[in-house]
Amino acid sequence: MRPRQDSTADELQLEALGHKGELQRNFSPLSMLGLAFAILNSWTALSASLSLALPSGGSTSVIWGLVTAGVCNLCLAASLAEFLSAYPTAGGQYHWVAVISWKRWVPLLSWITGWINVSGWIALVASGGLLGSQLIVGVIALYVPDYSPERWHQFLIYITYTVIAFLVNAFMNDLLPYVNKAAITWSITGFLVITITVLACASPNYASAHFVFADFINETGWPDGIAWLLGLLQGGLGLTGYDAVAHMIEEIPNASVEGPKIMIYCVAIGTFTGFIFLMSLLFASGGDAESIISSPAGPVLQILYNATQNRAGAVCLLIFPLACLLFATTSIMTTSSRMTYAFARDGGLPASKFFAKVHARLGLPLNALILTTVLTIIFGCIFLGSSSAFNAIISASVVALGVSYAVPIAINVLRGRKMLPPRAFKLPSAFAWFANLLGIAYVIVTTVLFVFPPELPVTGNNMNYCIVAFAIIIIISTVQWFVDGRKNFTGPRTDMGLEVLEAVKGQQNGMGVTDPKRDVEEPSSGA
């Protein structure tokens, strides 16, 4: 594959989508896979969020909830991969919605999708610092039994994670591909080291297979079925964020071919490694779920201590997920800033021209990055007001991103799956329908459930304020729509000039990329 030809075809295709290529294409497929894997960071996120699933279904929710979320998210990722192959632009979902929607509804549907997607990514940045701060507080609790953690303690650690991620993004942009390669190397190393160590140290006193695969616990106050479904939030968190590939797509060569593969691979790898890791932790846990749930150190650190019977050893192992979460927060912030930049570039935000600027010397959308950082810090203030902030922030990220995934897929389904043009990646027709419908159903169910309070009875203190966060987003976006959007926002450009498309095809054919037009339906005209 010749880089110069790749770059020319990519820039022509981006020009056809209405944008000038301003970002450097300095991510190889491997470094982009590293970024996507670092953002999902599945085994780390799943282990750090055990407190979500263990009280809501026990190990059955942990193991089989992940399998359920894995299958459904693979369907969503495969469905979105078709869009990415057809329209490789950093706008991602809101751009795709604009391309395939009914003509009169294009601005409004694209606007709503863009706001939901931007909000979901900011919440996901917050979840990285949240998980890291929770683990560090757990380390203190393990060594100081009398320690009584205050919410502001965790908030300060959260701020530290966020600021470090900002500094890396702002002043080490040229090194980000290497940071992402280091992230995937560190993550795989940590996965292997912790898995082997806990199994070796716990031998032969493993928990029973029944405990690992069939133990059910319900401490939520909800009926058993709803409690188990609430536990899906853990699996949903561990496998969300794969649209990062779309929002970074303008920074990799041969985007329409490599992007879809990376999107699917990262979900598959995350599901596989997450399943192996969680199964290993549960076998090495000692089999006492109640003590793990109630431990001041937190579930994952308590399991590491149960396996090693050594505080120093447990903390040393915890360094791997702590660093992984810092990598993840950095990578998520990178993607969030690119998503914000892309939406501002199309006029979707207040002061869009300001946030769509690319810093000439740093070569990155610095204003969008600063906005992402400030909003992440504000989002973290939920810490200070609610004991269920953990659930609220994670729910907000999973629900918002899930909705943004489902909207373009649902519109395409409603229009008979005939709205995508010839593309390099295309699902077989029967499987495509199955994947689309299963993915949409999963998003509908989880969107409703994940705004539920995590336990009953509901009080002002344990309320899931995810719904409040969404209400604020809806109010702001609605006001902005009536003030500016309905007059000036027409959505991204969707008319791909024939001469530019022919140039793209010529470049791709020169690189040995098969013309996909032979086996793909033509898009129908918008109504």
Q: Which residue has the higher pLDDT, 52 or 304?
A: 304
Q: Which residues of 432-447 are buried (b: 16+ CB within 10 A; e: fewer)?
A: beebbebbbebbeebb
User: In percent, how much of the chain has pLDDT > 70?
Assistant: 85
pLDDT computed for residue 478 by the predictor:
86
Report whether 220 contacts 59 (CB < 8 A). Answer: no
Domain count, the chain: 1
Token representation of residue 202: 């716990």
Peptide bond into 177 cis (omega under 30): no
Q: State which residues form the domain around 115.
A: 18-495
| 79 burial type by CB count under 10 A (0-12 exposed, 13-18 middle, 19+ buried) | buried
pLDDT computed for residue 390 by the predictor:
67
Tell whether 228 is covered by a domain: yes
Tell whether 1 is covered by a domain: no
Token representation of residue 39: 């953002």
Quick count: other Cβ atoms within 10 Å of Cβ 181? 18
Per-residue pLDDT tens over the stretch 251-262:
777 788 888 988
Residue range 202-209: mean pLDDT, rounded: 90
In this predicted structure, the answer to whether residue 511 has a pLDDT above a threshold of 50 is no
pLDDT computed for residue 300 by the predictor:
92
In this predicted structure, the answer to whether residue 2 has a pLDDT above a threshold of 70 is no
Per-residue pLDDT tens over the stretch 408-452:
999 999 999 988 888 888 999 999 999 999 999 999 999 988 888
Tell whether 362 is covered by a domain: yes
Tell whether 390 is covered by a domain: yes
Rg (Cα) of the chain, in Å, rounded?
Answer: 22
Find the CATH number of the domain harbouring 348.
Answer: 1.20.1740.10
Confidence of residue 319 (pLDDT cuts 50, 70, 90): very high
Report whether 436 contacts 79 (CB < 8 A). Answer: yes
Closest CA to 50 of 356, 301, 401: 301
Identify any residues that bridge with 218 across adjacent strands, giving them in sequence order. 56
pLDDT computed for residue 106 by the predictor:
87
Q: Which of 6-10, 19-23, 205-209, 522-526 has the highest mean pLDDT?
A: 205-209
Identify any residues that bridge with 56 across adjacent strands, giving them in sequence order. 218
User: In percent, how much of the chain has pLDDT > 90?
Assistant: 34
Tell whether 469 is covered by a domain: yes
Tell whether 373 is covered by a domain: yes
In this predicted structure, the answer to whether residue 392 has a pLDDT above a threshold of 80 is no
Report whether 81 contacts 249 (CB < 8 A). Answer: no
Per-residue pLDDT tens over the stretch 214-226:
999 998 889 999 9
Report whether 62 contacts 53 (CB < 8 A). Answer: yes
Instruction: Write the single-letter amino acid at 333.
Output: M
The model's pTM = 0.83
Lowest pLDDT segment from 23-32, 94-103, 205-214, 349-358: 23-32
Peptide bond into 457 cis (omega under 30): yes
Q: How many CA atoms lie within 13 A of 43 on its CB side?
A: 28
- Alpha-carbon span 215 to 62, nearest angstrom: 10
Q: Which of 2-11, 265-274, 468-477 has the highest mean pLDDT?
A: 265-274
Per-residue pLDDT tens over the stretch 71-91:
999 999 999 999 998 888 877
DSSP assignments along 445-468, one per residue = HHHHHTTS-SSSS--TTT--THHH
Token representation of residue 356: 């769509």
Closest CA to 523 of 94, 96, 106: 96
Closest CA to 373 of 329, 335, 333: 333
Lowest pLDDT segment from 8-12, 77-81, 387-391: 8-12
DSSP letter at 38 equals H
Tell whether 184 is covered by a domain: yes
Rounded to 5 degrees, φ, ψ at 104 are -70, -20
Q: Which residue has the higher pLDDT, 12 or 177?
A: 177
Tell whether 517 is covered by a domain: no
Instruction: Write the single-letter amino acid at 128.
Output: G
Per-residue pLDDT tens over the stretch 141-162:
888 888 887 888 888 999 999 9
- Alpha-carbon span 177 to 187, nearest angstrom: 15
